[in-house]
Structure 1
Amino acid sequence: MADAFVNWSGSLTFTPARSAHPADEAEVCRLVRRARETGTTVRPVGSGHSSSPLVRTDGVLLSLDRLAGVLAEDGDRATVLGGTKLRALGEGLYDAGLAMDNLGDVDYQSIAGATATGTHGTGLGFGNLSTQVVGARLVTGTGEVLDVDADRNPELLPAVRLSLGALGVVTRLTLDVQPRYDLRRRTWCARLDWTLDHLAELQHTNRNMDFYWYPRSDQTQVRTLNRADRPPVEQGVWDSAGTAPARTRENEVGPTHRTIPRDRALRFEEIEYMLPSEAFPACFAEVRRRIMARHRRVAAWRVLVRTVAADDIWLSNAHGRPTTTIACLQNAGLPHEEYFRDMEAVFREYGGRPHWGKKHWLTARELRPLFPRWDDFQAARRRLDPDGVFLTPDLARLLEPV
């Protein structure tokens, strides 16, 4: 019997029939072929940071931890193994004089897991991490190795870049990268009304910008990041006296992979929905109204607001539209379901799409209308996994209509 699996927040625990830690691609192929022959499901797993039950399986839980490292760098491209953790990837690229275009708020995830679930950072000009994928190599449901890029099977690239692990085991990825550079990170506290009044200007004048809202104090923490090798951004958003709205909490400079993510000592649960940006003001107002009226007593933590550029990836939450995200966080171990379900009702009212790696209660019936290329993804999935080797019960709930 395999050991029990526990995700990062501690909210998901299960015991697979078997845990596998293949050392190379050939071993992955053998494992998938054996599962296909025996009617067993295979579920690839990264670092287990997701709050959702995407990795849960009663079959084979396949870890990519031994398939890690940067394989090659060639100008503006880097090829990496799927199990490479984002923190190690950042260091490996930095040593080669390179950097990723953008990163998320934490760096515990593996690159294959982060891109498969649409992990994102913030910034009007930046898509989620999946948009940085220009090629992939995966072991399909038939145990065969398939390369997908602009020249080989290009029709599958919009599906493979963000696949939920439903198309195969991604053993390596080729990423768009750029010469390494430093960012200046600044954070400060401000009243909520000040932040909302200046939000559009902050978003348009900074490379990256997001903010936390703290319901119990009704205050915000604003964060901006800008390239350190360029003139400082003139915010133009200070008070009439020319001073910042509150004292600066952080003002530091460093490489992208050390400046954008932050360590999170406190574990938390999270629901996040991706909204059409034009719907954000009305949606956030209703979120705030409901939290203050119904959930302030139990909402012990914060609400995070970020932006994501539109893309053309079939299952991307930012497909076809500039996106603003609202995430509600709750300390692990505290009640969250009633609070999160109420927030989900608001997000859905305003056309939101759920983050694949975080809490939500939608099934294929509700999800299909939200993604214009949904049926194209399903056709690709059935082509690459005709026998459902990767279709665990939780994935079937998301992808297969009842």
Structure 2
Amino acid sequence: MERFVNWSGSLAFDAEHLCQPSSEQEVIDIVREALDRGGSIRPVGSGHSSTPLAETGDTLISLGRMSGLVGADKSNGRATLLPGTGLADAGSALAEHGLAMENLGDVDYQSLAGAIGTGTHGTGRNLGNLSSTLAGGTLVTGTGELVRFGEGSDDARGRTLLRGAQVALGALGILTSLTLRVQPAYDLHRLNWMTHIDWVLSHFEELSQTCRHVDFYWYPRSDRAQVRVLTVPGDEPVISPPGYLKKDVQGPSYEVIPNFRDLKFDEMEYMLPLENGLEAFRRVRERVKERHRDKVGWRVLVRTVAPDDAMLSNTPQPTMTIALLQNASLDHETYFRDMEALFLDWGGRPHWGKKHYRNAPDLRRMYPDWDDFLELRQECDPEGVFMNDYLAELFGLQGAS
């Protein structure tokens, strides 16, 4: 038995087997063995997800030994990487070829396949999530078949599979290579200001329209905020918030964008239509101060994301995201459940890798391509090799795992 504990410590389970393949053929062999004996497999990345996506009592497959850059084409803006590549390692590997990912999330210790499979995102009004940069790749389906999707596939199925694979929750198969849309390497200048939340709310619209990246943390107990602005050097906004400049750094994008996290936390994040975002945050602020301020140990993070068209995309329109971060040592469920009701009132969709309490009937109403994805899942994994109890409940397929 192999004991697995996720990054925050909020999820733990025992898997009968832990497989760590180092080649595509080994992945195929593992899937076919599970299929022959009627077993099940769940992939796992760095374990940063707060939801039981990886949970299994059978076979857990980690792709950490399938890591690295396979090839880069600067003229075409494409790079192919192996699925277990860490985001930080991807950044440095691409930099050697004069390339960079379009954006990164708040942290960079996730694996590439895990980040893409759950719709991980950063911030930037004109920047999509990491999944939207997936242009093609290969995966091993639940039948043990190696399938190419997106660029490099010549049929409609390959194009459809791309839209499914961009945010697939590990339900379609095991990714064995990922071709990303990348761009020439670039530097960023990062400025972190400590100020009052009222100043941020008054200036956020202007900043988000003029700067490559803008986000802010709100600290409920002090009503202060930390606003982070990242721009290409020379494009910095002229601002002077009341407060002080906390951080001023400049360097390669993959080094400047991520934050370092040594304090473990659990998180709920909802994606809201951008047009409703700031007003929704104001309601969040009111509710936290009225009901939860004495129990909230950390902060609220607000970001923006450009739309994409993945089947299970939670950012189908210009989006503002609001994330509740709670210290892993403190209770989060009462807080998260109460705030989730508010997010739903404002047309929110949950982040797939973070705490939420929605199930199949709720999600079907939120996602126009829901049934198309389930049909694709059935085609790729007819015997339910990649199903677990959590996915069965999420998809309304109880009995399939």
Residue 265 (structure 1) aligned with residue 262 (structure 2)? yes
Give the deviation of 1:13 after TM superposition.
0.4
Residue 85 (structure 1) aligned with residue 86 (structure 2)? yes
Residue 293 (structure 1) aligned with residue 282 (structure 2)? no
Give the deviation of 1:151 after TM superposition.
4.5
Residue 232 (structure 1) aligned with residue 229 (structure 2)? no
1:35 counterpart SS class: helix
What is the CA–CA distance in structure 2 between the aligned matches of 1:149 and 1:397, rounded to whole Å?
29
1:217 counterpart SS class: coil
- Given that 1:139 and 1:146 are in contact with CA atoms closer than 8 Å, whether structure 2 keeps it comes out as yes
One-letter amino acid matched to 1:214: Y
Give the deviation of 1:262 after TM superposition.
1.4
Give the deviation of 1:401 after TM superposition.
5.2
Equivalences for residues 302-317 of structure 1 within 5 A:
302-317=299-314
| Identity over aligned pairs, percent | 52
- 1:350 aligns with 346
What is the CA–CA distance in structure 2 between the aligned matches of 1:158 and 1:347, rounded to whole Å?
26
- 1:189 aligns with 194
- Given that 1:271 and 1:359 are in contact with CA atoms closer than 8 Å, whether structure 2 keeps it comes out as yes
Equivalences for residues 2-401 of structure 1 within 5 A:
2-75=1-74, 76-152=77-153, 153-228=158-233, 231-235=234-238, 238=239, 243-319=240-316, 321-400=317-396
What is the CA–CA distance in structure 1 between the aligned matches of 2:211 and 2:278, rounded to whole Å?
20
One-letter amino acid matched to 2:267: E
What is the CA–CA distance in structure 1 between the aligned matches of 2:71 and 2:187, rounded to whole Å?
23
One-letter amino acid matched to 1:204: Q
Q: Mind listing any 5+ residue stretches in structure 2 that lack a counterpart?
A: none
Give the deviation of 1:395 after TM superposition.
0.8
What is the CA–CA distance in structure 2 between the aligned matches of 1:347 and 1:256, rounded to whole Å?
32
What is the CA–CA distance in structure 1 between the aligned matches of 2:116 and 2:230, rounded to whole Å?
22
1:143-166 Cα distance to aligned partner (Å, 9 max, x none): 010000135111211101111000
Give the deviation of 1:35 after TM superposition.
0.7
- Given that 1:136 and 1:160 are in contact with CA atoms closer than 8 Å, whether structure 2 keeps it comes out as no
What is the CA–CA distance in structure 2 between the aligned matches of 1:291 and 1:351, rounded to whole Å?
19
What is the CA–CA distance in structure 2 between the aligned matches of 1:271 and 1:143, rounded to whole Å?
35
What is the CA–CA distance in structure 1 between the aligned matches of 2:64 and 2:236, rounded to whole Å?
40
What is the CA–CA distance in structure 2 between the aligned matches of 1:299 and 1:396, rounded to whole Å?
32
Q: Which moved more, 1:150-159 or 1:30-39?
A: 150-159
1:235-256 Cα distance to aligned partner (Å, 9 max, x none): 4xx4xxxx43221111110111
1:351 counterpart SS class: coil
What is the CA–CA distance in structure 2 between the aligned matches of 1:167 and 1:343, rounded to whole Å?
31
- Given that 1:136 and 1:173 are in contact with CA atoms closer than 8 Å, whether structure 2 keeps it comes out as yes
Q: Which moved more, 1:32-41 or 1:109-118?
A: 32-41
RMSD between aligned alpha carbons?
1.0
- Given that 2:302 and 2:321 are in contact with CA atoms closer than 8 Å, whether structure 1 keeps it comes out as yes
What is the CA–CA distance in structure 2 between the aligned matches of 1:331 and 1:234, rounded to whole Å?
33
Q: Mind listing any 5+ residue stretches in structure 1 that lack a counterpart?
A: none
1:232 counterpart SS class: coil
What is the CA–CA distance in structure 1 between the aligned matches of 2:114 and 2:278, rounded to whole Å?
31
What is the CA–CA distance in structure 2 between the aligned matches of 1:131 and 1:65, rounded to whole Å?
23
